[in-house]
Amino acid sequence: MGAGAIGGFLGLHAAHGGARVTLVGRARITPRSPDLCVHRLDGRQLRCSPSVMLSDDAAALVDADIVLITVKSRDSAAVGEHLAKLLPKHTPLVSFQNGLENLHRLGRSLGPRVIAGMVSFNVVRDGSILRQASTGPLIAGLGAPEQRPLLRDLATALEAGGQALELREDIVDIVAGKLLLNLSNGVGAATGLPIVATLRSRDARWCFSRCIREGIDALERAGYRPRNVIGLPPRAIASLLRLPDMIVLRVAHRLVKLDANARSSTLQDLDAGKPTEIGDLNGAIAELAASHGLRAPANKTIAAIVRELEGSQPPLAFLSPTQLRERIVAASRAP
């Protein structure tokens, strides 16, 4: 449900692994969908097979064994209400979305059958091409005992198609760890920089490190224990980002492969004139911190800047990394 970049990427991998897949997306995608093609970072290409059903109607999912939710977080509540009217009561759903609140938003209508998931890699949609822009694990929760055979079937199909899915009991804390990595989205969106360019900028890295440190404090105060997602614990990543360029880039290259032109999903939304998910990323950390008596000036500043850009006409007035750092320092000193 939500056949955008991530939904299409996962769907085509599952189809190539032998699953019968239905992709449900907006009406504008369906005429081009038979031409959908995944371009992986390893050079492999997966084309949309005849076994993939394409629809703009969620009712096409009524007979699904398991449903993956890949809509934007802002649509979770409405999608949950819609699917609750269509799906049998026993159908499990996996939320492969950004942020911490999607289980609650979906669960209000769908109940405890919603399982948390985490996508750590970036996929960019370019017309009918779904281009993988970074590497990283795909993880989902174990689910209830009666759901586990279906989750194992999903993992088997994805792996056969070339995309491993790991099933973990500590998925909620893994999602929290992923949120900390996603705080880089706000840095890239505020500056207009691709992901690699933010890593090459010492000031942008400083901003990202501040965001992570604030995020760790807020999440831990709220009872989360953010887990390692890409090979280093969150606190180690925050410290690494403060080191000289050569060290950071060398370690980053070992942890994750990145397309030089990869842009965060938040920056892609700004480029397209769409609302972003900043409220579920840096904005969520700022709100969580405030609710527990903490300050998060870096995340609060970045969320405000991105929201200003959302309401602006192009060309967008991005900040330089140095300007962004100065804004955060000023906010940190304010009473």
Pairing of strands 129-132, 123-126: antiparallel
pLDDT tens-place string over residues 201-255: 999 999 999 999 999 999 999 999 999 999 899 999 999 999 999 999 999 988 8
DSSP state of 98: S
End-to-end CA distance of the chain: 45
Q: In the prediction, which pLDDT does 26 show? A: 80
Between CA 328 and CA 83 the distance in angstroms is 41
pLDDT tens-place string over residues 86-133: 999 999 999 999 999 999 999 999 999 999 999 999 999 888 899 999
Between CA 7 and CA 15 the distance in angstroms is 12
Between CA 71 and CA 94 the distance in angstroms is 11
Q: Where are the beta strands (DSSP E) in the chain?
A: 22-24, 37-39, 45-47, 53-55, 67-69, 93-95, 114-119, 123-126, 129-132, 138-141, 166-168
Task: Give CA 250 to chain center in angstroms.
Answer: 24
Q: In the prediction, which pLDDT does 31 show? A: 46
Residue 48 neighbours by CB under 8 Å, 6+ apart: 12, 15, 33, 34, 35, 36, 37, 54
Confirm if 38 and 161 have CB atoms less than 8 A apart. no
Q: How many CB atoms lie within 10 A of CB 77?
A: 16
Q: In the prediction, which pLDDT does 288 show? A: 98
pLDDT tens-place string over residues 167-203: 999 999 999 999 999 999 999 999 999 999 999 999 9
Tokens encoding 242: 């403060």
Q: In the prediction, which pLDDT does 244 show? A: 95
pTM to 2 decimal places: 0.94
What does R_g of the chain's alpha carbons equal in angstroms? Answer: 19
Confirm if 183 and 238 have CB atoms less than 8 A apart. no
Residue 278 neighbours by CB under 8 Å, 6+ apart: 185, 186, 189, 266, 302, 303, 306, 307, 310
Tokens encoding 39: 């371009």
Q: For the chain, what is the mean pLDDT?
A: 95
pLDDT tens-place string over residues 6-30: 999 999 999 999 999 999 998 665 5
Q: What is the mean pLDDT of residues 41-56?
A: 92
Place of tokens 């969520």: 284
Q: How many CB atoms lie within 10 A of CB 302?
A: 34
Q: What is the mean pLDDT of residues 27-35?
A: 61
Residue 231 region by backbone torsions, left for phi larger than 0, else alpha for psi between -120 and 50, else beta: left
Domains defined along the chain, listed by start: 5-168 (3.40.50.720), 173-333 (1.10.1040.10)
Q: In the prediction, which pLDDT does 27 show? A: 66
Confirm if 289 and 295 have CB atoms less than 8 A apart. yes
Q: In the prediction, which pLDDT does 315 show? A: 95
- Residue 149, H or E segment: helix 148-161
pLDDT tens-place string over residues 292-312: 999 999 999 999 999 999 989
Q: In the prediction, which pLDDT does 73 show? A: 95
Of the two residues 50 and 107, the one the predictor is more confident about is 107
SS3 of residue 49 by DSSP: coil
Q: In the prediction, which pLDDT does 28 show? A: 60
Q: In the prediction, which pLDDT does 32 show? A: 53
Q: What is the share, in percent, of the chain residues with pLDDT greater than 90?
A: 90
